[in-house]
A and B are shown apart, each in its own frame.
Chain A
Amino acid sequence: GAGVSQSPSNKVTEKGKDVELRCDPISGHTALYWYRQSLGQGLEFLIYFQGNSAPDKSGLPSDRFSAERTGGSVSTLTIQRTQQEDSAVYLCASSLAIFGGRNTEAFFGQGTRLTVV
């Protein structure tokens, strides 16, 4: 597609339920990132993928959070046993390469707004 696509755009779930958030990156982008943005907060890094592997999972808040990427393309962020503090906007981004020695622009999706009631 033309840009990074995230689904669903909005999700309301009951406390204790599991949710899956999907990210379709730009075709050909090897790097994929997940961030979380809570009300009034900046972007909190969760995890990034280089291809299908995740070199850095340090931002995942707890073991209830997991993510996978298959075929070097689509990624799914899963939150098990959701809690009210999980309510936030979850943003996905992709780029041609990971940041560091080679710098490149990251394109962001519109985000998934998760509300846990």
Chain B
Amino acid sequence: SQELEQSPQSLIVQEGKNLTINCTSSKTLYGLYWYKQKYGEGLIFLMMLQKGGEEKSHEKITAKLDEKKQQSSLHITASQPSHAGIYLCGGAGGTSYGKLTFGQGTILTVHP
């Protein structure tokens, strides 16, 4: 099955700083999904990317998918404590047809 690798595994930043989380797939994806999870809670959908080169933004969060549809980045501008949580990328397609396969997650801490 396709593997999704996220980096870094954890990230600690000062409030106001920018940051980037990366997600790499070993195979070409049909779609790449970003979710956020607070400890002990379910996943909150952030963004879905389907086309090579696609970029989407929502508030201070921007996600990009490369032309080969194997790498995605999530960029947060001027981070706030409310951005803290676990960020997960999920991939669909290839041998993972019908389901999402997730990366290990990136734990983000934002210090006030």
A and B assemble together: yes
B33 touches A110 (CB 8 A): no
Given contact pairs A42-B105, A110-B42, A103 touches B92 in the complex (Cβ within 8 A): yes
B104 touches A105 (CB 8 A): no
Interface residue ranges, B against A (CB under 8 Å)? 30-31, 33, 35, 40-45, 48, 50, 88, 90, 92-93, 96-105
Residues of chain A at interface, number, CB under 8 A: 28
Interface residue ranges, A against B (CB under 8 Å)? 4, 31, 33, 35, 41-43, 45, 48, 50, 55-56, 89, 91, 93, 98-101, 103, 105-111, 113
Chain A residues with CB under 8 A of B99: 33, 45, 48, 56, 98-99
Query: Which applies to chain B's interface (DSSP): helix, strand, loop or mixed?
Result: strand
A100 touches B92 (CB 8 A): yes
Chain A residues with CB under 8 A of B33: 105-106
Which residue from B88, B101, B103 sits with its C-beta under 8 Å from A45? B101
